[in-house]
Structure 1
Amino acid sequence: MGQNDNIEVDPTLLEADGSDYASSGYDTSTASLSSSVNEYIFENGRRYHAYYGMEKNLMPTDEKEQDRMDLHHEIILLLLGGELHKAPINPNPHKILDVGTGTGIWAIDMADRYPSAEVIGVDLSPIQPRWVPPNCNFEVDDAELEWTYPSCNFDFIHFRNVAQGITKWPQVLSEAFRCMKPGAFIELSESGAQLYSDDESLPPSNPARQWGERMTDAMAASGRLAPVKGSLSSRLEAAGFVDVREFQLKQPFGPWAKSQDLKKLGVMLLLQGEQGFHSYGMLAFVKLLGMDPAVADKLCKDAIMATKNKHTHAYAVHYVAYGRRPEE
C-alpha cells in the first residue's frame, strides 16, 4: 500500500449491531490487549523526570510510559516493514547516536543489528536497562546544550518522538551536523498530534479530533511545533543536509482496516492509546493551556473511548525524514 493511499474500511466490521468493537468480535479491553500484545503490568500514578525539571520534557517516565514507548517501538517496526530506519546508511557503521533514546529499545536493537558499531543512546532520564549488548552505552544529557562529541564522529544520528522535548531545533541540528562524518545520515522520526480519517468519520465534535487540536495548540504554546507534512524535511534542509526524503505512515486506531497488517497495527494502537492520550495530553493541557485537571483528564478519556468506536476510522500519521551531510 502506498504511504498516501486511503485506508480501506473492512465492511464486515459494520454488519453487527452496536458501535463498539466487541459487537463485532474484537475484545479491545486493556486486559485483553495486554495479554495478547503486551505482557507488562501497569502501575498506578505518573512519574516525570526531575533532573532537568518537568518543563524540559512534558512526557512521564514511569513504568506505564516505558511500556507504552516499547509498544510504540514495535508499532514503528511494523510500519517500517521490520526495519529500524529508513535512511540508507553504511551497512558497516562504526558509531551511531540515538538522541532521546527513552527506554533504549531502538539503540539496543541497533546494537544487535550492527554488532561492529558503537551505539550511544542519550536521554534526560536514566530509565534504560543495565543489561545491554556490549557495543551499546547510555548517557544522561540534554541535547539542547553544546554537544561534547568530537566533530566528524558519527555514521548515523537518529531522533525519534522527541518533539515534546526540543525547542531549539536549529541549534540541535547544527550540533548534529558538526558531529557527523561527511556523507553520514541523520533521521527524524515523529508522530503527529492530529488525528484524521479518510471517510469523514471524524467530525469536529469527536473527542479524539478535539484532543489532537488541543495537543497541537499546547505544543505551539511551548515552542514545540507538532510535526506536519513537510516540517521534518524542511528542518533538515535548513540545517544544511542534502538528499532529504520524507515519508508519511498512517497509524490506524482500531481493527477497522481491511488490510490484515493494519488490523494488527490498529489493535496495538488501541492499547498504546490507553496510555498515550494521557501521557501526551495531561501535563501539556494543564501547564500550557491552563485546563482544569479534571477537564483535561476527561478529554483524554473521551478521546480513548472515541477511538474504540468502530464507526470512527481515525488514524495518526508518523513522519520520517532523513538527510545526508554533504561530502566535504
Structure 2
Amino acid sequence: MAVAQTATAGEIKDVTNLFTGTEGTYLLPHHAKEIERLKEQHALILFSTGDVLVTAPLKQSKIKVLDCGASDGTWLLDLPRLYPQHEWSLHGVDIGSSLFPPNAGPQASLDLREFDIRSPTAPEPSWEQGFDLVHQRLLMWGLQKSEWATVVKNHFSLVKPGGWIQLVEGQWVERDHPFDPVTHPNLDKMYRMQWWCTENFGKDMFVAYRLEELLKEAGFKNVQKKQFTLGYGALAKSPEWKKRSVDMWIHTFRGLGALLPEGGIPGVLRNKAEFDELMVNLHAETLELGYAPRMNFVVAQKPE
C-alpha cells in the first residue's frame, strides 16, 4: 500500500513488503501479493471481454506499443499471443521498478523502465512520437484527479501521427444510480467507502465517464468507446468465476483498511473491526446477489 495522508486522515500504518517508488501515489495494496491479484484481474477482464486487449483499429503489421502502468508486463506479453498477425515491439513503464520480472524467458522480449507518466519528458528522445499504440489501464487509484489531463497530453506527445491511444477504466459504480442501501446494504457501504477514499486522497472515482473528453481536449480525434460488463459473484459469466471473482475483489478492498482515519468514515464505518465485518458481509452479499461493473475501452487517434 502506498502511504498517503490528508489533514483528516491522521497517521496511517505502513504495510509490509512495499514496492519502492510508489509511496504517496498508488492507494491500492502494493506488495508482492498484489502482482497475483493483478494477474487474476487481467484474467477476469480477458474472460469477460472474450480475449479483447485492444479495440483500436491497428492495420500495420509492425506495431511499437507502450503500456503505461505496466506492472510485471502481463498485458504486454499477451499481445503476441492474442494478436499474432502483428509483429510487436513491447515497451512498458511503471512508477516502481520493483514490479518488473527478471529479464529471462518470455519476459526478455519486454523493455520495461521505471518512469513517472506525469513527467513531460520522455525517458529518451526516440520515444517522442515513437509509438503506434499507447495503452493505459486502471489507474484511477494511481493518479490525482487534477493530473489526468496532464498525463493524457504527455501520452499525446508519445503517439506517432496517425497512431492510437487506448485508455481503459472501470465504471465501478453507476454515477447516477448507486446501490440501493435496502437491497444491497454492503455494496452501498463499499460505494460510500470508495467515494470517501477517492475524495479525501484526491482521486477521481468517476474518471471512466471522462475519458472521451480528456482525449479530445488533448488533441486526439476519432474517439471511440466500447464497453464490457464484468461479472462478480452471482453475476459471474461462468461458475468458475463465481467465488474466484469475489475472492479477488475482496482482497483488493482489504487494502483500503489501512486508509481508515481515527474515528472511521462518517456514516459508513467507525473502526477497523467494522471494516473487517464489512469485508465478510460484502463477500457473502456479492456471492448471493452479484456485482456487475462496466469496463470502458476508449480509443482515439492522433491526427496525421
Give the TM-score normalised by the residue count of structure 2.
0.78
2:253 corresponds to which residue? 277
Q: Which of 221, 232, 257 matches 2:211? A: 232
Q: Which runs of 5+ in 1 are unaligned?
A: 1-44
- Runs ≥4 residues deviating over 6 A: 289-294
What SS class does the counterpart of residue 177 from structure 1 fall into? helix
What SS class does the counterpart of residue 252 from structure 1 fall into? coil
Decide whether aligned partners of structure 1 residues 229 and 166 sit closer, same or farther in structure 2, where only a CA change above 3 A counts: closer
1:212 corresponds to which residue? 191
Q: How many residues end up aligned between the 2 structures?
A: 275
The Cα of 1:241 is off from its aligned counterpart by 1.4
2:4 corresponds to which residue? none
CA RMSD of aligned residues (A): 3.1
2:128 corresponds to which residue? 151
Contact 2:120 2:154 in 1 (8 A): yes
1:10 corresponds to which residue? none
Written as runs of structure 1 = structure 2, the 5 A alignment for 1:119-138 is: 119-126=90-97, 127-130=99-102, 131=104, 132-138=106-112
Q: Distance in 2 between matches of 1:104 and 1:298?
A: 36
1:141 corresponds to which residue? 115
The Cα of 1:296 is off from its aligned counterpart by 4.6
Q: Distance in 2 between matches of 1:93 and 1:227?
A: 35
The Cα of 1:195 is off from its aligned counterpart by 7.1
The answer to whether structure 1 residue 90 and structure 2 residue 59 are counterparts is: yes
What SS class does the counterpart of residue 75 from structure 1 fall into? helix
Contact 1:48 1:59 in 2 (8 A): no
The Cα of 1:282 is off from its aligned counterpart by 2.6
Q: Which runs of 5+ in 2 are unaligned?
A: 1-14
2:301 corresponds to which residue? 324
Q: Which of 108, 114, 118 matches 2:89? A: 118
What SS class does the counterpart of residue 271 from structure 2 fall into? helix
Q: Which of 247, 264, 275 matches 1:299? A: 275
Q: For each residue in 1:46-99, what CA deviation from the matched residue of structure 2 results, as whole angstroms up to 9, or x when unmatched? A: 5333325x2111123223211110000001111221122222223524310000
What SS class does the counterpart of residue 121 from structure 2 fall into? coil
The Cα of 1:177 is off from its aligned counterpart by 0.6
Q: Structure 1 counterpart of 2:57, which letter?
A: P
Q: Distance in 1 between matches of 2:273 and 2:213?
A: 34
Decide whether aligned partners of structure 1 residues 85 and 93 sit closer, same or farther in structure 2, where only a CA change above 3 A counts: same
Seq. identity, %: 19
The answer to whether structure 1 residue 171 and structure 2 residue 150 are counterparts is: yes
Decide whether aligned partners of structure 1 residues 63 and 293 sit closer, same or farther in structure 2, where only a CA change above 3 A counts: farther
Give the TM-score normalised by the residue count of structure 1.
0.73
Q: Structure 2 counterpart of 1:250, which letter?
A: T
Q: Structure 2 counterpart of 1:118, which letter?
A: S
